[in-house]
Amino acid sequence: MDLESYVKQNQKVIDFVNDVTPGHIDKYTGTLDYATARFNTILLKLSQDALKADQYREEVKECFEIIQDFYSYTVKYTNTSRFFAPIIKLVLHYKGKVHIPKIKLLLEKINN
């Protein structure tokens, strides 16, 4: 997958974050916002250097999948009943602690 397709497919995540009522952003939507912003920064930096883009291709794909997965669970959390919310909240907490930091680590690798 090329970098442009990542940007196009991430548009629905950006639209979701933008549609949240200002002042009502919860920690999961905020995490999604930060992760998407970092991922877009990664894509911007890699678009300027084709060799680095080839070098980090697999890690970029993994980060994209992490964001898409976190996005799907965030949507489920916002649309679910109060009965299932704690289960989805637990999954989101795990993904936020274990998977989301990989995006920041990739950005730091690319910057160095």
E strands, the chain, where?
A: none
Q: pLDDT at position 21, please?
A: 66
Global pTM? 0.89
Q: Distance between CA atoms of 82 and 86, rounded to whole angstroms?
A: 8
DSSP states of 23-60:
T---HHHHHHHHHHHHHHHHHHHHHT-HHHHHHTHHHH
User: Measured in whole angstroms, how far is the alpha carbon of residue 17 from the centre of its chain?
Assistant: 11
| Cβ-Cβ contacts under 8 Å for 102 (sequence gap 6 or more) | 59, 62, 63, 66
Q: pLDDT at position 88, please?
A: 93
Q: pLDDT at position 25, please?
A: 74
Q: pLDDT at position 43, please?
A: 93
User: Measured in whole angstroms, how far is the alpha carbon of residue 13 from the centre of its chain?
Assistant: 8
- DSSP 8-state secondary structure symbol assigned to residue 100: T
Local confidence pLDDT in tens for the 112 residues of the chain: 788 889 889 999 999 888 886 777 788 888 999 999 999 999 999 999 888 888 999 999 999 999 999 999 999 998 888 898 899 999 999 999 999 999 999 999 998 8
